[in-house]
Structure 1
């Protein structure tokens, strides 16, 4: 695993602050892990760090001191953001109802070289990748490094769509952190989708890097770009794929959704209502990464399959990648990789440090009980039980009284395979819980045979 290297140009950000605050932040201890400096009119200035904050002065910030910082920063754009030329720092303004600036958030921007190693095999696959995660987890930092690796180390034609100059920094000359990748700035954030299409039509990129896809127009532009054979690497609002399913503006990224009416037999087989949601087409991004932390990422190798499973309330298993303190990558739940995707560099995939335990869950086929109801109970009670959709995959059948008479195929299959059928009178939570606990006792007491 390659060693990570961090650069931050912190002196240039501190230089715009009042001199008294520069002195407060001069020590190496106070500069370490600094996230941002908050300057609000009439309040003491404060520095923010991961999990804590520090008041830099007892006296409240004066109008004169605030105006001095604004003068050194320069003009704010339509998104109330400004920057420092050829740095990654971001200064955001708070305004009153009259439009006057009454507060500033001075966020430290850092270029971290080496972060892409955890998903380098995905980047080299030439397939489009969607990155999700909570704000502040490091999505933009990863995009920046991916752009550099693609342009410098893989010699690809890369164009970065930089809406707020967060990826390549402020000014007309991009920050060295994106390497030889080209950068297109967006004059108005509302027109980001236009710049995305312009990049494809005018500059012949092989890869487009885009941060914060957040509107229906931008999702449409991303699909248009992908259909032209251009690799996309982007981030979207939301921290996991399930969020995109619930977001009408971004559903096109995962293939779009449509309402489908099922026949009686199919609805009974699925254990669902007759009207369900299904995917309209292939996802814009075949690969997806959920950043659960800076050193813990969940990889979805087949977004279409994952979305289909989520829509049908089926369990979803992602590949978990973690970096330990030595920078060694460990992979949990290894899955078959799509063509063209190699093994992650420096990983312990052959002998995972976090091996997936043998699946000892009790597999239940429900009849007359909705899978959604069972899954909710299993989650609430933390039971080692999995709901399956076919009898041949089950260890036991859990049925309401007389329910199997409406599903004779399932009853014949269970008898033919020797799978026991457990009958309950009603589907109230207490009775379901007792039935599952009883089946679990028999399942484990008889060596995984109910």
Structure 2
């Protein structure tokens, strides 16, 4: 929370800090909207702080601090509607959108912020390792809706891939961390505990980063978050042809939800992935709803019986 509070005006930061300490809660999201109460979302409940409200001046101050007073430096991230800050926390931004040639150029007159706090749950993937590893790591796609813990799940899995266990050797692991959410790198050095045999390309486009790793770092496993574009798919196919295993995440409710997406269909039809892990956002971060094999047949029942 220190990183987040340091980005906020003193009155707002103090109010949030006092409330969280008094209630002893850990938020998943903090939403600030101009002239409206502050929303604290724990994933299980929503609370409102009405004693202090965000002004236009506060919003500009937050934006300046997030960007280190250089919005131009974060122009590309602003086009995506969010900025990732130190610690891997993502701050979504809403307001008036500037359109140029049919594309979003920037967001101005910011009216709200959605601060999504990065979480770290060590060991949540350990019980699933026997279903993802058969002498080598199986190509795995993690599917989940927003706030299901895809990145948290991916980060924990990366720790096991790169460090190993008694039953599994450590693998050379390459992470393309386009939004600095997996490794929370500062000046290129990961701040998150992600294992021993890890190499990271921070703030690098996924498609380009994967090919850079193939050419230069000879990884056993490449890990990327939130695939979806045609360029991502093309790079994934190249990685597979190079004999490197993949672990990725994608937004979606379930396998059926992503099967008909034009960019993803080639991957599904080619049975690139040996395992599909479906996460839920109903109860807790990283909750596994289903595990499927390459043909979409469920194996979660076998997992639960073990």
Question: Where does residue 21 of structure 2 map in the other structure?
Answer: 28
Question: Where does residue 76 of structure 2 map in the other structure?
Answer: 78
Q: Which runs of 5+ in 1 are unaligned?
A: 1-9, 256-281, 307-316, 321-331, 335-343, 350-450
Distance 1:60 1:196, change over 3 A: same
Give the 4+ runs in structure 1 shifted more than 4 A.
none
* SS class of match (1:143): helix
What is the CA-CA distance between 1:197 and the residue it aligns to? 1.6
Q: Which has the higher contact order (CA 8 A, sep 6+)?
A: 2
- Rounded Cα–Cα distance in structure 2 between residues aligned with 1:182 and 1:97: 36
1:95–1:103: 8 Å Cα contact kept in structure 2?
Answer: yes
Question: Where does residue 105 of structure 1 map in the other structure?
Answer: 114
1:122 pairs with 2:131: yes
Question: Where does residue 159 of structure 2 map in the other structure?
Answer: 148
Question: Where does residue 277 of structure 2 map in the other structure?
Answer: 289
Deviations 1:212-239 (A, max 9, x none): 1112221221122112111100012322
Question: Where does residue 249 of structure 2 map in the other structure?
Answer: 235
1:223–1:252: 8 Å Cα contact kept in structure 2?
Answer: no
- Rounded Cα–Cα distance in structure 1 between residues aligned with 2:26 and 2:85: 20
- Rounded Cα–Cα distance in structure 1 between residues aligned with 2:278 and 2:115: 27
Question: Where does residue 435 of structure 1 map in the other structure?
Answer: none
2:148–2:287: 8 Å Cα contact kept in structure 1?
Answer: no
- Equivalenced residue count is 275
2:34–2:53: 8 Å Cα contact kept in structure 1?
Answer: yes
Output aligned runs, 1:78-97, within 5 Å. Answer: 78-80=76-78, 81-85=82-86, 87-97=87-97
- Rounded Cα–Cα distance in structure 1 between residues aligned with 2:206 and 2:95: 24
1:176 pairs with 2:177: no
Q: In the alignment, which of 213, 236, 239 is matched to residue 222 of structure 1?
A: 236
What is the CA-CA distance between 1:252 and the residue it aligns to? 1.5
Question: Where does residue 104 of structure 2 map in the other structure?
Answer: none
Question: Where does residue 318 of structure 1 map in the other structure?
Answer: 298
Deviations 1:376-401 (A, max 9, x none): xxxxxxxxxxxxxxxxxxxxxxxxxx
- Rounded Cα–Cα distance in structure 2 between residues aligned with 1:134 and 1:220: 24
1:163 pairs with 2:172: no
TM (norm. structure 1) is 0.56
Distance 1:141 1:67, change over 3 A: same
What is the CA-CA distance between 1:84 and the residue it aligns to? 3.4
1:44–1:56: 8 Å Cα contact kept in structure 2?
Answer: yes
1:18 pairs with 2:9: yes
* SS class of match (2:171): coil
2:162–2:173: 8 Å Cα contact kept in structure 1?
Answer: yes
- Rounded Cα–Cα distance in structure 2 between residues aligned with 1:96 and 1:111: 33
Q: RMSD across aligned C-alpha pairs, in angstroms?
A: 2.3
What is the CA-CA distance between 1:37 and the residue it aligns to? 1.3
What is the CA-CA distance between 1:176 and the residue it aligns to? 2.5
* SS class of match (1:79): helix
2:225–2:248: 8 Å Cα contact kept in structure 1?
Answer: yes
Q: Which runs of 5+ in 2 are unaligned?
A: 99-106
What is the CA-CA distance between 1:29 and the residue it aligns to? 5.2
From the CA coordinates, give the structure whose radius of gyration is larger.
Answer: 1
1:186–1:195: 8 Å Cα contact kept in structure 2?
Answer: no
